[in-house]
């Protein structure tokens, strides 16, 4: 039976740890020039309806390093850009390749692709979730802190796809998380409800607040994202006004632990959601986080595609 990664909740705690452990091993092998061509002869189709730097490069290079091949498929290259139903695209591509990564707007489109395909589907980003990014975040935190369970994560900003995946991913792994968003920009209620359920199951703390200061107190890790994501450019001015006070800066970081990490999925808008000096001060972990997209996604590719065909 094929497996997909459509949202972070598709993974159990053991699945997440397995991916992180595999990613650590693959990173070690990469750094020591040890070949790991476990997907030799296999091909990944990469459907992009949203443009990207990190997602495209990390998946394409990752497949190459695993011995496979990656095909870049924009909506202009596919018949779905001309109205072919996603159901038909799924069935056709399943005859040619061994996996699909899709980066798009609609979570429903990813779910439909998975329903009608016979090969693994990986969510490279939707407006609802960004599971691959959060796996890279968890990998980075563990690299720096050596543990995950019991640590406190504070997310400051928009209750977007990053926030959604962070809530589920951190709580599943036994971490505590505080989410601070302005009124009107909170995570979707289904994720808040699921977060409360997971925190009760794991005995962890889950806080939703409109106060960045409350969220950041004694945090081990502080995470943010842009205030206006791709496709929300027309809301940028309104959002900039709504997010006043939600900037990661020196004053706010004084409330976190003295050795707190700062993470940002990038690209960053310096001077908006985060100041340039904070990025520069925490550049090691931020750019390790970016690099770890490669290693975490290679682990996902292995987990889903190695035994497929």
Q: Which residues are annotated as a binding site?
A: 52-55, 79, 103, 130-133, 161, 225, 229-230, 265-266, 293
The runs of H, that is alpha helices, within 32-160 are: 54-65, 86-93, 107-116, 131-145
Spatial separation of the C-alpha atoms in residues 21 and 50, rounded to whole Å: 30
Contact criterion met (CB below 8 Å) for 256 and 222? yes
Catalytic residues, by residue number, are: 103, 130, 133, 225, 265, 293
| Sheet of 152-156, strands arranged across | 206-209, 176-180, 152-156, 221-224, 261-264
State CA 86 to chain mean position distance: 23
What are the residues whose beta carbons fall under 8 Å from the beta carbon of 105, sequence distance 6 or more? 49, 50, 126, 127, 231
- Closest Cα partner for 148 from 177, 174, 179? 174
The runs of H, that is alpha helices, within 161-235 are: 161-172, 189-202, 212-216
| N residues, the chain | 309
CB atoms within 10 A of CB 152: 23
φ/ψ of residue 73, rounded to 5: -130, 100
Nearest-5° Cα angle at 129, 125 to 130: 50
| Sheet of 121-125, strands arranged across | 69-74, 43-48, 99-103, 121-125
> What is the dihedral sign for C-alpha 238, 240, 244, 248?
positive
């Amino acid at each position: 039976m094929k497996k997909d990664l459509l949202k972070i909740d598709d993974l159990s705690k053991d699945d997440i740890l397995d991916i992180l452990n595999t990613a650590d091993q693959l990173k070690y092998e990469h750094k020591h020039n040890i070949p790991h061509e476990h997907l030799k002869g296999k091909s990944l189709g990469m459907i992009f309806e949203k443009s990207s730097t990190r997602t495209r490069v990390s998946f394409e290079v990752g497949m190459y390093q695993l011995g496979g091949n990656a095909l870049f498929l924009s909506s202009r290259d596919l018949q779905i850009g001309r109205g072919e139903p996603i159901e038909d695209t799924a069935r056709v591509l399943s005859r040619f390749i061994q996996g699909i990564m899709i980066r798009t707007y609609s979570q429903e489109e990813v779910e439909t692709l998975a329903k009608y395909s016979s090969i693994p589907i990986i969510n490279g980003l939707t407006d609802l979730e960004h599971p691959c990014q959060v796996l890279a975040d968890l990998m980075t935190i563990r690299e720096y802190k050596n543990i995950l369970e019991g640590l406190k994560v504070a997310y400051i900003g928009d209750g977007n796809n990053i926030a959604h995946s962070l809530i589920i991913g951190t709580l599943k792994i036994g971490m505590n998380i505080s989410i601070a968003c302005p009124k009107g920009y909170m995570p979707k209620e289904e994720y808040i409800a699921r977060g409360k359920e997971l925190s009760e199951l794991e005995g962890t703390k889950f806080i939703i607040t409109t106060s960045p200061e409350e969220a950041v107190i004694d945090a081990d890790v502080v995470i943010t994202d842009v205030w206006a994501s791709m496709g929300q450019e027309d809301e940028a001015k309104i959002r900039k006004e709504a997010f006043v006070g939600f900037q990661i800066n020196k004053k706010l970081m004084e409330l976190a632990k003295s050795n707190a990490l700062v993470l940002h999925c990038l690209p960053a808008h310096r001077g908006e959601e985060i100041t340039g000096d904070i990025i520069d001060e925490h550049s090691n972990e931020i750019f390790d986080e970016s690099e770890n997209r490669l290693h975490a996604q290679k682990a996902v590719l292995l987990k889903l595609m190695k035994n497929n065909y």
